[in-house]
Structure 1
Amino acid sequence: MAERIARGVFRTDTPVRISSYAAVVGEKEGEGPLGECFDEVVTDSHFGKETWEQAETQFQLEAVGLALRKAGLQREDIDVICAGDLINQCIGSAYSVRELAVPFLGLYGACSTMAEGLLITSVLTDSGIADHAAAVTSSHFSTAERQFRFPLSYGGQRTPTSQWTCTASGAVIVSSDSGNIGVVGGCIGKIADLEITDINNMGSAMAPAAADTIMRYLSATGTVPEDYDYIVTGDLGVVGSELLRDFLLKQGVDITAQHRDCGAMIFDVEKQDMHCGGSGCGCGASVLCGNFLPMLERGEAENILFAATGALMSPMSLQQGESIPSISHLVHLRKEQA
């Protein structure tokens, strides 16, 4: 059973298992450095649907379907699905789960949603409430631009600190008894706020939340960065990643050798003109499922901290002059014997 070791921090004696996972991405993501890692690259941004929002729902359905097939499961085997996205009221997830007809917990953690989903599904499975649970999230460049920034036809210039919302989805099946990747601990994030109001500088807004969560987990577990192969953040991008490392160095912790950021990895920032890199719920989820979980499964890594980050603003809050609060949830993943 999970054991509380500090406020919001837990670890498990017997790890919950990850039995399968899948990542589905769009064309631009498939053209990036990690293109060959993903299960499927979809070149049609509409995914055969009439709207981008419907396309994002289809990305989720495809990711979940692939993960189920890999695990040899049917949707009826899933006791609960935890899903979220960036669209108002998380309709991308609600409409995908409408098709699946599975008990549903809708989540909103912005780009931290995959880590939040893994925390919740792990606790539900560890408690015996679920034998199999799914965590899934997604984002789509066009749905995010429509909601948070400008119409695509506007032709506005992107600032140097801006990031590109990934068109992608990742799905993970958590089980009580199968899989050779274990969830062995976690840290529930706390809100951090640097009083940043620029929607094009989300990496800077999220960096202090990531620093706080990583420090809390290291302190509570009595571990140091060298105990982990990788400390992975969701989508701080280039600027946010530099700030994170600086924040931690000021506290005497150097993660330079272990740190990787999904937003900085998913695109070739210079060749693809991505400024500070990728963002969105699907960014960390797809890189986790396409790159880091396979590394654990192949034995190329033994211990990974996955600390996804989220900017918890809305178009209305920004129009009212509010700053951008942020959060980071952390999941400790470990290679286990099958």
Structure 2
Amino acid sequence: MIKNLHRGAASIAFREPLYIESCASIVSQKEGEGPLGKLFDIVCEDPMFGCDTWEAAESTLQKETATLALNRSRLTPDDVQLMFAGDLLAQTAATCFGSAGIGIPFYGLYGACSTMGESLSLGALSLTAGFGSRVLCVTSSHFASAEKEFRFPLGYGNQRPLSATWTVTGSGACILSTTPPAKSSPLRSSVGFAAITGLTAGRVMDYGLKDSMNMGGCMAPAACDTIARNFSDFSRTPSDYDAVFTGDLGTVGQKILLDLLSEQNIDLASIHQDCGLLIYDNETQDTHSGGSGCGCSATVLAAYILPKVVSGEWKRILFVPTGALLSKVSFNEGDSIPGIAHAVVIEHMEV
């Protein structure tokens, strides 16, 4: 069993890295038309993905992404011991139906849009504790299924305020391994590969906000808390990271995050990027505050972030998916919207 080094209350520095062996990303047409469109593995023009319902479409999307990640490393489901996966829907419906035909022992997760951070964290903890040699981490979201679940049916034609984000139709998957990727792996370059070396578990932060059309404002305090604790627990400053990625704060949430961090004398402006702002062009795609959803940070990680870590362009990054922990029941009862953010340290490892 690999011994780890606890840092602070909820941070862990792994004594041995957990390698990212494979990844995959599949999105729909709107995401394919964005700035990262050419980087995604598959862009499907049919938002229904050949299905009859939005929910079935998301299940198919997630299953195809997980299968692609396996195929890219020439793995079968029998090569993977555990699957950590989730989505935005009640009872993680998209994931339950999507995982049914894969055949990997499955744990369903719900961390709202932070679920990819939760999945990677639990996957890394399981491997380092000796519970297998590989795990599959995958999340998904779908614009139409999320609108139907949390807001209004698309036919309602409601107006969206400028603070609102656009739920990404997409799925991202990563396979973690206790051994470095093979030379044939798509996530191994001539100079190295990517690995998880640490994490900071998020805490639920509730500032009493109740606006479901301003998710960035609801999640920013949690992102601030997790990032600040990561810096403190690991005795690091912004200069120790090449980039810090939040999941989907958008334009509103990003400004709040930077303001909150500045109050703690942390200047993150020069290295902070938000996956929700990277995936769409807000000036031409009319997404208002940016992108959101479980699939937002997951697809950006697989398509944009990991290749740059593998190539050595970035030596160390902090991946901080953010989530707004509301349900349609809690929101309709007038409850506030707590936020959470999980941080994962990903580093370039030389061959």
TM-score, normalised on structure 1?
0.99
1:44 aligned onto 2:46: yes
Letter in 1 for 2:330: S
SS at match of 1:181: strand
Letter in 2 for 1:241: Q
Distance 1:2 1:97 in 2: 31
Letter in 2 for 1:126: T
Task: Pick one of 219, 237, 240 that aligns with 2:232.
Answer: 219
Task: Kindly report which structure 2 residues correspond to 1:174-185, keeping only aligned pairs within 5 A, or say none.
Answer: 174-179=176-181, 180-185=193-198
Please list the CA deviations of residues 205-226 of structure 1 after superposition, one character each: whole Å capped at 9, or x if unmatched.
Answer: 0000000000001001100001
Task: Pick one of 278, 283, 293 that aligns with 1:265.
Answer: 278
Letter in 1 for 2:345: H
Tell me which residue corresponds to 2:320: 307
1:328 aligned onto 2:341: yes
Q: How many residues align?
A: 338
Distance 2:107 2:20 in 1: 19
Tell me which residue corresponds to 2:112: 110
Deviation at residue 62 of structure 1 after TM alignment? 1.3
Distance 1:128 1:155 in 2: 51
Task: Kindly report which structure 2 residues correspond to 1:1-16, keeping only aligned pairs within 5 A, or say none.
Answer: 1-16=3-18
Deviation at residue 72 of structure 1 after TM alignment? 1.8
Task: Kindly report which structure 2 residues correspond to 1:268-287, keeping only aligned pairs within 5 A, or say none.
Answer: 268-287=281-300
Q: For the Cα contact (< 8 Å) 1:208–1:247, is it kept in 2?
A: yes
Where structure 1 has 5 or more consecutive residues not aligned to the other structure, the ranges are none
Distance 1:290 1:302 in 2: 17
Deviation at residue 253 of structure 1 after TM alignment? 0.3
Deviation at residue 178 of structure 1 after TM alignment? 2.0
Deviation at residue 142 of structure 1 after TM alignment? 0.4
Tell me which residue corresponds to 2:268: 255
1:242 aligned onto 2:244: no
Letter in 1 for 2:62: Q
Distance 2:143 2:219 in 1: 19
Letter in 2 for 1:254: D
Tell me which residue corresponds to 1:147: 149
Letter in 2 for 1:224: T
Paired-residue identity, %: 44
Tell me which residue corresponds to 1:195: 208
Q: For the Cα contact (< 8 Å) 1:2–1:123, is it kept in 2?
A: no
Distance 1:9 1:163 in 2: 30
Distance 1:175 1:305 in 2: 19
Tell me which residue corresponds to 2:91: 89
TM-score, normalised on structure 2?
0.95
Runs of 4 or more, structure 1, over 3 Å off, are none
1:67 aligned onto 2:65: no
Letter in 1 for 2:201: I
Deviation at residue 50 of structure 1 after TM alignment? 1.0
Coordinate RMSD, CA, aligned: 0.8
Distance 1:3 1:176 in 2: 17
Please list the CA deviations of residues 182-220 of structure 1 after superposition, one character each: whole Å capped at 9, or x if unmatched.
Answer: 100000100111211110000000000000000001001
Distance 2:210 2:286 in 1: 24
Where structure 2 has 5 or more consecutive residues not aligned to the other structure, the ranges are 182-192
SS at match of 1:257: coil
Tell me which residue corresponds to 1:31: 33
Letter in 1 for 2:292: S
Please list the CA deviations of residues 16-40 of structure 1 after superposition, one character each: whole Å capped at 9, or x if unmatched.
Answer: 1110101111100000001011111
Deviation at residue 337 of structure 1 after TM alignment? 2.4
SS at match of 2:114: helix
Tell me which residue corresponds to 1:133: 135
Deviation at residue 73 of structure 1 after TM alignment? 0.8
Distance 1:123 1:130 in 2: 11
Q: For the Cα contact (< 8 Å) 1:18–1:182, is it kept in 2?
A: yes
Letter in 2 for 1:313: L
Deviation at residue 46 of structure 1 after TM alignment? 0.6
Deviation at residue 241 of structure 1 after TM alignment? 0.5
